[in-house]
Amino acid sequence: MIKKTLVWLRQDLRLLDNPALYHACTLNQPTLIIYILDETLYPLGGAQCWWLHYSLEALQKSLSRQESALILKKGASETILLNLIKTENISQVFWNDCYEPLTMARDFKLKQLLKEMGITIESFNGSLLGDPENIKNKENSFFKVFTYYWKYCCLHQKIKPLMSKPKFINLAHHSKITLESDVLSSWNLLPQNPDWSLGLKKYWEPGEIGAKKQLKKFIQSNLIDYAHGRDFPAQLKTSLLSPYLHFGEISPWQIYHAIKQIEIQNPITSKSTERYLTELGWREFSYYLLYHYPQLPEKNFKTQFDTFQWLNNKELLKAWQKGKTGYPIVDAGMRQLWHTGYMHNRVRMITASFLTKHLLIDWRVGSAWFWDTLVDADLANNSASWQWVAGSGADAAPYFRIFNPVLQGEKFDASGEYVRTWVPELKKLPNKYIHKPWEASKSILNTANIILGIDYPLPIVEHAKARQDALERYQTILKNSYR
């Protein structure tokens, strides 16, 4: 029986610049490629399930064009892999590393077990610019401040060349393929009764081809103005590459090389290219923090926040989730999220600040909602970002930095274009009142066909009072931490 190589795909659903796939295919022996839907570690949110379905579908088509195939299996990874190794005479296993704590622990155990069985294991970093283990400060510990971390990375980072598309050996030429694959539709990843994914279908094209198109579109249309335009949600100057990075349909090195090439060709873009690469650095930093502080998704990085008294009012939470807080910029963001599986980064900060500091709802509750509704929901980014906004994270925004949703709206959506897109009941309001409709006179509201409290809610909390309450609670934990 011919010996075979197995490539186990996880968060690396691409052919180009895929270290595990590339190196496996250089061995010149039949290669099986598998994806396992393992729900025992981190169950996917609804929006991620939708994306995964179409990403796998796209990858199946790409591999088919290369006269190869993607094997789909659902269940516990260890059980499926061990059975496959025995039945298919697998001699070597390749995969790209994942950096979530439970996944790392599982992979470590699996590596030890396979080595004891005499199976060769090769794993690679295919999802980050740098290995979190190798980045240390002067005290030989891990960085806790992004500026120092990123400065170190920029000085010491070795630029990696991109890997080409692997050359596959058609397994059918060597032995009869008897391995059965699950039918993708049987996994029921797509929403039904009701199908809430129509907005997602309109805005996204999952898969490696979609990732290339999005990178090209960003470079051609939005990169030059990124440094300034990234803060204005109606302009949508951001790259929109985050879900493609999360599922590994494009590698960070592919993006890095493409951005650097533009910088060389057009030096005038240097301010924006540097700013964008810094944002890519924040993604790296989030994974770095998760690697060194595995409790990040559940526990406060700053332990003084362990005694913070959250209100966790269910009715207020429901209003926030549905985009019915009475604050237009907040509601626009939450409705954009539900409709498209995405929210502009500036608005993510505003909505997260509102939940944790106006409504006094635990950041972990907000993190769970984003996990279920974002197509780019990423354990590292999601956890680190929520803790950053809440003030409990590494290098976090000070807790007393409480976004005023009215001022934020007026500064970053002055014309109200973003709000009018996602909160259409306010579209006839003048710009002066688009972010504070409760200040409009009755005649103005009548002209706009709005009855506050019926057509659009009144604010569920009053900003000044909510801010004062939050600061008082913060002062309480500060006093307790000094005792």
For residue range 422-449, what is the model confidence (pLDDT) as tens digits?
A: 999 999 999 999 999 999 999 999 999 9
Compute the distance between CA of residue 220 and CA of residue 201 in angstroms, rounded to an integer.
23
What distances in angstroms separate CA 271 from CA 179, 201, 233, 275, one per listed residue? Answer: 52, 33, 20, 6
CATH 3.40.50.620 domain position(s) in the chain: 4-127
Mean pLDDT across 19-33: 93
128-160+208-292 belongs to which CATH class?
A: mainly alpha
Kindly list the catalytic residues.
279, 282, 310, 345, 363, 386
Mean pLDDT across 57-71: 94
CB 69 within 8 A of CB 60: yes
Fold of 303-478: DNA Cyclobutane Dipyrimidine Photolyase, subunit A; domain 3 (1.10.579)
- pTM, whole model, 2 decimals? 0.95
Query: What integer pLDDT is reported at residue 401 of this predicted model?
Result: 86
CATH 1.25.40.80 domain position(s) in the chain: 128-160+208-292
Closest among 180, 247, 184, 208 to 10, alpha carbons compared = 247
- Lateral strand order in the sheet of 120-124: 71-74, 31-37, 4-9, 90-96, 120-124
Architecture field, domain 4-127: 3-Layer(aba) Sandwich (3.40)
CATH 1.10.579.10 domain position(s) in the chain: 303-478
Does the pLDDT of residue 176 top 50, yes or no? no
Mean residue pLDDT across the chain:
94
pLDDT > 70 fraction of the chain, expressed in percent and rounded: 97
457-478 pLDDT tens trace: 999 999 999 999 999 999 988 8
Phi, psi of 88 (to 5 degrees): -110, 10
